[in-house]
Amino acid sequence: MLKIALLIAFGLLSMALLMNLYRLLKGPSTLDRIVALDTMYINSIGVIILLGIYLRSDLFFEAALLIAMMGFVGTVALSKFLLRGNVIE
């Protein structure tokens, strides 16, 4: 029963990643692309955590934590760049 739920979750997250990729490539504005990229970080964290549950490995959870930190820093840096024109003040 757990394997079926994991496969369904993998499928749904994969579809979400494809929709985010479409918005990232086709987005009408730069802000839409930044939001799509941020959502892709979140969805990729979900896929990595599901893979860690499926393979019963703790290493995937640490990788998901690293991606979460890098995604947050990247989103903040891109937002600052769009607002002010530079990242470092």
Is 28 among the domain residues?
Answer: yes
> Per-residue pLDDT tens for 37-50?
899 999 999 999 99
Estimate to the nearest angstrom the gap between the alpha carbon of 57 and the chain centroid.
Answer: 20
Structural domain including 66 reads 2-84
Between 27 and 64, the higher pLDDT residue = 64
Q: Angle at which helices 2-26 and 30-55 pack, to 10 degrees?
A: 160
Q: Is the pTM of this model over 0.75?
A: yes
* Assigned domain for 53 exists: yes
Question: What CATH number corresponds to the domain at position 34?
Answer: 1.10.287
pLDDT digits (tens, 9 = 90+) for 19-32: 999 999 998 988 88
Alpha helices in the chain (DSSP H): 2-26, 30-55, 59-84
Q: Which carries the bigger pLDDT value, residue 84 or residue 63?
A: 63
